[in-house]
Amino acid sequence: MLVCSPPSRVRTIDDIVSTFDPLDRTLHPLQIPVALTVRSSRPSYSHQPHCGVAELPVELLLEIFSFLPLKYLIAARGVNQHWRALVPSAKLPPARRALYDLYYDTLASPSFLPSRPRVLARLKSFDRELYLDRISQKGGELPEEFRLWILEWPAKAAFRSAWPGLANEATVDPFVTEGANCLTVPQVREMRFFRDGLEHKVPALDVWWYGFTHYASLLLHSSDTTLDGAVYVSTGVLYDDSGHGNIRIAAGWVGYLRQLLKSME
């Protein structure tokens, strides 16, 4: 029976990711050690072979990948060519899959690299868990795509100023939508919409200010599932069937981000 024994110094995936910048790894290929080993409670003997994580069966690797957050998935792709080919095949939760695909589409955008100097010069860190807690206290349950985006998206891959760690400033920068970022200081307000003659109220997070009273707003939670997580350009009232007033621009948060990404090209 094969017994996996650790070498003198065991490196886990946490060890590697703790010193790993997903964006830098993608833009500047580095040699990432493959000394990811399986710990064993059995005694170690010199004649016993080492069993590395990279040598695990494909089925088991795919199962492990399906539980990893975004930055670990990005790091896993850099371990070797075998993992690079396997990671995209993992069965990820829908929201994480959407973010994973968006991340690599973002890196492939022709405007991504030219926009980095301005983004990196303005980028500030923030407490991601606390940020979500503050919004939840004001608006209740958060859409899963938005929640994971806040927790897992690499800050250096932010674009169009759509990130809480980018300064809330009015701008006409060619890589930024004209207006101001509202995510730096999250504001939740109540938005109204009408359906079948009835008024419904939905908590909404202001995302971007276009000027005057026009905002892009993310609907946080509604008993109407067709509204959950949708993004509207609005003045506060949603007229679903009237053909005027506020406009639904995306069915979900990642869809909205994709529109921003496309507008950079």
**229 φ/ψ angles, rounded to the nearest 5 degrees:** 75, 0
pLDDT at 98 over 60: yes
pLDDT at position 120 is: 92
DSSP string, 163-189: STTS----B--TTS-SBEE-SSS--EE
pLDDT at 116 over 60: yes
CB 192 within 8 A of CB 237: yes
Average pLDDT over residues 72-96: 95
Question: What span, in angstroms and rounded, lies between the C-alpha atoms of 53 and 12?
Answer: 9
Beta carbons within 10 angstroms of residue 164's beta carbon: 21
Q: Mean pLDDT check: name the lowest of 79-88, 113-122, 202-211, 235-244.
A: 235-244
More confident residue, 14 or 91: 91
Average pLDDT over residues 251-261: 95
pLDDT at position 69 is: 97
pLDDT at position 94 is: 97
Beta carbons within 10 angstroms of residue 226's beta carbon: 12
pLDDT at 6 over 50: no
Question: What span, in angstroms and rounded, lies between the C-alpha atoms of 202 and 231?
Answer: 12
More confident residue, 199 or 141: 141
CB 2 within 8 A of CB 49: yes
Average pLDDT over residues 180-202: 82
pLDDT single digits (tens) 135-176: 999 877 899 999 999 999 999 999 988 999 997 655 545 455
Question: What span, in angstroms and rounded, lies between the C-alpha atoms of 72 and 69?
Answer: 6
List helix spans (H) across the chain.
Answer: 13-18, 22-27, 58-65, 70-77, 81-86, 94-108, 112-122, 128-139, 144-152, 253-263
pLDDT at position 198 is: 75
pLDDT at position 11 is: 43
Q: Mean pLDDT check: name the lowest of 11-15, 46-50, 96-100.
A: 11-15
Radius of gyration of the chain (CA): 22
The two tokens of residue 250 are 């995306």
Question: What span, in angstroms and rounded, lies between the C-alpha atoms of 97 and 152?
Answer: 12
pLDDT at position 75 is: 95
pLDDT at position 12 is: 46
pLDDT single digits (tens) 16-73: 444 445 554 443 333 333 333 333 334 444 445 555 666 789 999 999 999 999 999 9
pLDDT at 3 over 80: no
pLDDT at position 190 is: 83
At residue 177 the predicted structure's pLDDT band, cuts being 50, 70 and 90, is: low
pLDDT at position 37 is: 32
Average pLDDT score over the chain:
77
